[in-house]
Structure 1
Amino acid sequence: MQFALTYAPAVFDTRTRMMGRQAAGEGFLRAALAAGPERIWCYARTRAEAEAFGRDARRLHPHPPEIRFISWGQPARLLQAGTLFRPDPGLADDAWRRQRAAEARSWSICGITHTLSSKAAMDCVPALVRAPLQSWDALICTSTAARDVLRHGLEAEIEYLRSRFGAAHIPMPQFPLIPLGVHPEAFAFPPGTRDAARAHLGLAESDVAVLFAGRLSFHVKAHPAPMFLALEAAASRSHVPLHLILFGLFPSEPVAAAFREEAAQLAPSVRLHVLDGRSDIDRDRAWSAADIFTSLADNLQETFGLTPVEAMAAGLPVVVSDWDGYRDTVRNGIDGFRVPTLMAPPGTGEDIADQYEADSIDYDRYVGSACLLTAVDVEAATDAYAKLIESPDLRRQMGEAGRRRAKTTYDWSLVFRRYVALWDELAERRRADVATPGERIRARRPERPDPFTLFRTYPTAVLRDESQISLIGQLGPRDAMMRRDLKSVAFAQSLLPSDRLVHDLFSQLAHEGTATLVKLRVSLPNHTPASVLRAVLLLAKIGVLRVVP
C-alpha cells in the first residue's frame, strides 16, 4: 500500500495548536503509519515541508515507512502514488492541477470535511461542481450532518448552473460517510491515576465530577450557559457534591474571566476547576478524575465533534446536545444522553449571512450569532445530569457501553481500513467507470492562466523564435552577472540564469554576432529551451543584450 498526502503545517501536530482538526490529523497519521504502508508520498510546497512531515512521522512511529517528496509544482508524479489524500475539503484545486498535468484517470483525489461554516469552506462546495472532478474522486463526510450540508450546497449550485447555462451533466465525486477515530489506548490510564487526580483536585470519593474538554469559547464551540444552569439544577436536585472540570484553552483572558464569572453566577453550588489544555499532566488528570463527560455544542463550526468519542474511549458516560456529528456517535440512552436542541427556522438568518458576506461581521461573530439563536433544552440536560449523578451503576453501564463502541467502531485502526477500502474502490472506478466528456482534456484552470498568455496584448511585441539577439557594446558576462545579482533582481532566484548559462550565451553570441532565439536554443543543448528564453529576456531587461523582435 502507498498513497500521497498533502502536507499542511500544524495539521498533524497537536503540540502547536490543540483543536479538533489537529487531533484528527495526528490520529489519522498515527493510524496510517501503524498500518505499515510501503511508502507515503509527501505532496508539499517545498522540500523543507516534506522534511517537517518526516519529523512528524518519526515522532509518531518508531519505524515509519519510506517517505518521498513530490513538489506541488510537479503534480504529474502523483501517478506513482495512485491516490492523493488532503486533510480538508479543497479537492477542486488539486483537480485543476491534475487536469493540467495528466489525464483525469491518472490518480484519485480524496479529501475530508472539517468545518463547513467559514467562507473558505463554503466556497469549496460550489468549487466542487466547477472543478474537473470525477467519480473516482471522493470527499469523505465525517457525519450525516456534514453530508447534508454538502448536499444542500451542491444542489443549490447545480440548480443555478442549470437555470443560467442549461448545464445537463455534471460529474461528481463520491461522498462516503466515514467518521473520525480515536486511539483507545490513549485513554487507558494506569492504576492509581484516578485516585491521584481526584486527590489533587480535592474530590472526595462520593463527589461527582463532570468534564467538558475542548475549546473554551462561548461563540465557536459550546455556549456555557445551558451547561451551568443544568448542572446547578441537577446539583440542587441530587444533593451530591458536584464539580465541573473545564479542560482546554480560552481564546483570551476576557473570555476566561467571563467563564469564571458566569459559572459563579449561574452555578454557585458547582465547584469549578480549570485545567490547561496544553498540559499532558492536566490532560490525564481531567480524563481520569471525571465521572461524566458533557458537551452541549450549539455551534456551526464543527461537523463531527471528536471529544464525545474520546470520552467513550475513556469509559465515561456522556451528556451531549443532539447536534451535528454527535447524533451519529452517541446512542441516546445507551452511551449517555442526547439533549434536544432548537434552532431558528430556515430563511430567518439572511441578515446574518448578508453581514458576513459583506465583511460587516467576522467569522467569530457570524457563528456566534447563530449560536445565540440555537437553544439547548436546559430541563432535559438537568434530567440527564441528575440521572447519572444519582446512579453510579448507570454511569458504569453507559461508560462501558461507550468504551465498547469506541473500540469496535471508532478505533483509528478500524477507521483507517475504511479509508484504504475507499481508495481501493476509487482505483477500481478509475479502471472501470465509463468515460466522461472532457476527461482527457489537458488544460489550465481558466482563472489561473499563464500570465504571458493573459496579458499578451500589453507589450509592444513578444519574443519570438525569429527574434534577433546580439550583444551590446563591450559588456561581458561579468557585467551581466553583477546586474543579475542586484537586490531588485535577485528576489526571483528560480527565474535567474546560472553562471554557466550566462557564459554560454555570451560565448555563442560573440561567435555568431547575431542569432535568432531558435538558433540559440539549438546551439545550447545543455540548457533547456525555457531557460534560454528567460535568460534572453532577463539579460535584455538589465541592458546587456539587444533584442529585435
Structure 2
Amino acid sequence: MDKPSLHILHSESSLGWGGQEHRTFKEMVALRERGHTLELVCQPGAKLGERLTAEGFTVHHVRMRNGADLGAVWRMRKLLRQGRFDVLNTHSGRDSLLAGMAGRLAGTPLIVRTRHLALEITSLATYTWLPHRVVSVSEHVRQYLIGKGVPAAHAATIYTGIQAPEPVTSTLRAELKLPDDAIVVGTVAILRAKKGHRELLEAAKPLLERHPALHLVWAGNGPQYDNLSALLASEGLADRVHLLGLRRDVANVLAGCDVFALATHQEALGTSYIEAMAMGLPVIGTRVDGVPEVIEDGVNGLLVPAQNVPALRAALETLIGDAALRQRMGEAGRAITRSRFAVATMAAEMEAFYRNSLAERGHA
C-alpha cells in the first residue's frame, strides 16, 4: 500500500537569496516531484517566495517584524490550522521563533528546524523547545547542536544536494582571451573577508610569477568587491586575476577552470566545492567546520589549514603542476557528488526523516 503524501509548510523570514534559500528551493521542488504538497510562508518581497511562485507553488506572505511579532504568530497559527499541515519546517532565526510558536499553538504534528550555518546560535529555544526535530546540513553542525543541548536522537544530518550538471562547452576562456595553455584556478563565492580571497591572492602571487600561463578567476559579488578590485589594480594583477562579478552561468565558469580553490574561514558544508566537484574539478579547501565532509584529502582534492598561506600555496603548486593528478581527483570528486550529494538523495532522506519522526510522535 502506498504511503499517503505529506502536506509540508516551509517558513523563511530572510528576504535575500543565498545558499540557505537555494537549498530550501531545491528541496521543495524535489519533494513535490516525489508526490508531496509543499507551501511556503515568507515575508513580502522575499526572493525565495518570488522564485517558488514562478515555479507554481502556493506562497503565503506574512510580515515578520521582529521576534516579538505576535500578530505574525497569530496569522501563521491560523494558516497552519486551516491548512492541516503534517510538517512545519523552519529555517532562519526569526521565522523559527514565530512560526515555531505558531506551530505549537496550532498543534502541528511535526515541527522541524533546519540549521544551515556554522555560526554560534543565538536562541537555543528554536532548536530545543519549539521544534520537535532538527536537521543540520553537516555532521559538524549536528555535533555542535548536540553540544548545545539538542538531543542526539532528535538531530539528523542531511547533506545539501545538487542537480547533476549538463555537459557544458565553456566560453569563459574566449571571453577572457586566455591563451590555449592557460591553467585556470577558479573560485565561486560571495566576496567577503571570511571567504579567504586575500589569502588566496597572497598564496598565488609567487606562482603567478613562476607560471606565466596561470590565471585566477573569481566569480561573485559582495562587500569586498571594490577593495579587491583596487588591490588587484595596485598590484598590477588585474590581467591575471579576473574579477567576474555575480554570474548566473556558474557551470559555464567552472567548465572553463582546471582547479577550484576556496580558502574559506568558516563553512557549514561548502556547496561551492560540491558544484565544482560535479563539474569534474579537483578542489582545494580549508580544514574547517563541515568542509572535510566534502573534501577527502588526497582523494578528490587537498585540504589546508585556514589562513595558512604557505600551505595554500603548496596545494596550488601541487595541482598546477600535475595534470594527471588533477584528472584523477576530478573524476573522484564527480563520483562522490553522484553518490553523496545528489538532490534526489537529499529529498529521499528528508522524506524518510519526516515520516520516521511523525511515526515516533504517534502520527504515522
Give the TM bin, normalised by the shorter chain: 0.7 to 0.9
SS of 1:72's partner is helix
Q: Is contact 2:196–2:262 with CA below 8 Å preserved after alignment?
A: no
Match 2:136 to one of 121, 138, 141: 141
Identity of aligned residues (%): 20
CA contact 1:9–1:49 (8 Å) conserved in 2? no
Does the CA contact (< 8 Å) of 2:215 and 2:240 recur in 1?
Answer: yes
Residues 222 and 124 (structure 1 numbering): CA distance in 2 closer, same or farther, change over 3 Å? same
What residue number does 1:175 align with?
A: 155
Is structure 2 residue 72 aligned with structure 1 residue 83? no
Q: Partners of 2:363 and 2:29 in 1: how far apart?
A: 32
C-alpha deviation, 1:266, in angstroms: 6.7
Secondary structure of residue in 2 paired with 1:139: strand
TM-superposed CA distance for 1:73, in Å, is 3.5
Q: Give me the whole-angstrom Cα distance separating, in 1, the residues matched to 2:134 and 2:277.
A: 27
CA distance 1:387–1:78, shift in 2 (3 Å): farther
Structure 1 CA distance for aligned equivalents of residues 248 and 215 of structure 2: 21
How far did 1:96 drift? 3.2
Opposite residue 147 of structure 2, the aligned amino acid is H
The Cα of 1:380 is off from its aligned counterpart by 1.8
* Normalised TM-score (structure 1): 0.57
1:233 aligns with 2:206: yes
For the 8 Å contact 2:269–2:291, the answer to whether it is kept is yes
Aligned partners of 2:143 and 2:362: how far apart in 1? 29
Paired residue type of 1:123: T
Secondary structure at the aligned position of 1:200 is classed as helix
| Counterpart position of 1:246 | 218
Alignment-mate amino acid for residue 113 of structure 2: G
CA shift, 1:101, in A, is 3.2
* 1:320 counterpart = 2:300: no
One-letter identity of the residue aligned with 1:140: V
How many residues get paired? 345
Q: Give distance in 2, aligned partners of 1:399 and 1:214.
A: 20
Aligned to 1:508: none
The whole-number CA distance in structure 2 between the counterparts of 1:292 and 1:409 is 21
**Counterparts of 1:400 and 1:88, CA distance in 2:** 36
Cα distance in 2, alignment partners of residues 35 and 198 from structure 1:
39
SS state at 1:74 partner: helix
Match of 1:465 in 2: none
Q: 1:280 aligns with which of 235, 240, 248?
A: 248
- 76 and 144 in structure 1: CA distance in 2 versus 1, 3 angstrom threshold: closer
Q: Contact 1:245 / 1:274 at 8 angstroms: preserved in 2?
A: yes
In structure 2, distance between residues paired with 1:58 and 1:100:
27
Q: 1:316 to 1:291 in 2, by over 3 A?
A: same
How far does the alpha carbon of each residue in 1:121-142 deviate from its partner, in whole angstroms, 9 at most, with x for none?
x22225534x255xxx211111
Rounded to whole Å, the distance in 2 between the matches of 1:138 and 1:235 is 49
SS in 1 for 2:196: coil
Is 1:340 the counterpart of 2:335 in the alignment?
Answer: no
1:390–1:284 Cα change, 3 Å = same
Equivalent residue letter for 1:272: V
Whole-angstrom CA distance in 1 between matches of 2:297 and 2:179: 29
Say whether the 8 Å CA contact 1:183–1:412 is kept in structure 2: yes
Structure 1 pair 92–268 and aligned structure 2 pair: CA distance change class (3 A): closer
Structure 1 segment 141-540 matched on structure 2, within 5 A? 141-154=136-149, 174-185=154-165, 188-190=166-168, 193-194=169-170, 196-218=171-193, 221-236=194-209, 239-251=211-223, 255-263=224-232, 268=237, 271-277=240-246, 279-281=247-249, 283-299=250-266, 302-341=267-306, 376-431=307-362
Distance 1:265 1:321, change over 3 A: farther
Separation of aligned partners in 2, 1:172 and 1:406: 27
Aligned-partner Cα distance in 2 for 1:264–1:152: 46
Q: 1:340 to 1:49 in 2, by over 3 A?
A: closer
Pair 1:24-2:4 in alignment: no
User: What's the C-alpha RMSD, in Å, of the aligned pairs?
Assistant: 3.2
Amino acid at match of 1:222: K
SS of the residue corresponding to residue 297 of structure 1 reads: coil
Larger Rg: 1
Q: CA deviation at 1:233?
A: 3.2
Q: 1:269 to 1:422 in 2, by over 3 A?
A: same
Contact 1:227 1:296 in 2 (8 A): yes
Secondary structure of the residue that 1:124 maps to in structure 2?
Answer: coil
1:312 Cα deviation after fit: 0.7
Unpaired segments ≥5 residues, structure 1: 12-16, 156-170, 342-375, 434-549
The amino acid of 2:31's aligned partner reads: A
TM-score by length of 2: 0.83
Runs of 4+ that moved beyond 6 A:
none
Question: Aligned partners of 1:249 and 1:318: how far apart in 2?
Answer: 21
Distance in 1 (CA, whole Å) between partners of 2:30 and 2:189 is 22
Query: CA offset at residue 241 of structure 1?
Result: 1.3
Deviation at 1:57, TM superposition (A): 3.6
- Displacement after TM superposition at 1:34 (Å): 2.8
- Structure 2 stretches of 5 or more lacking a match? 62-74
Q: Any idea what the Cα deviations from partners look like across 1:188-234, whole Å, max 9, x if unmatched?
A: 343xx22x32111112221111111111121xx32323211221233
Q: Secondary structure of the residue that 1:280 maps to in structure 2? A: coil
Q: CA deviation at 1:240?
A: 4.9
Q: Could you tell me how far apart the structure 2 residues matched to 1:258 and 1:140 are?
A: 37
CA distance in 1 between counterparts of 2:42 and 2:287 reads 39
C-alpha contact 1:304 1:324 (8 A) present in aligned 2: yes
Distance in 2 (CA, whole Å) between partners of 1:418 and 1:275 is 36
Question: Counterpart of 2:156 in 1: which secondary structure?
Answer: coil
Decide which of 105, 108, 131 is 1:100's aligned counterpart: 105
**What is the aligned counterpart of 2:38 among 26, 40, 45?**
40
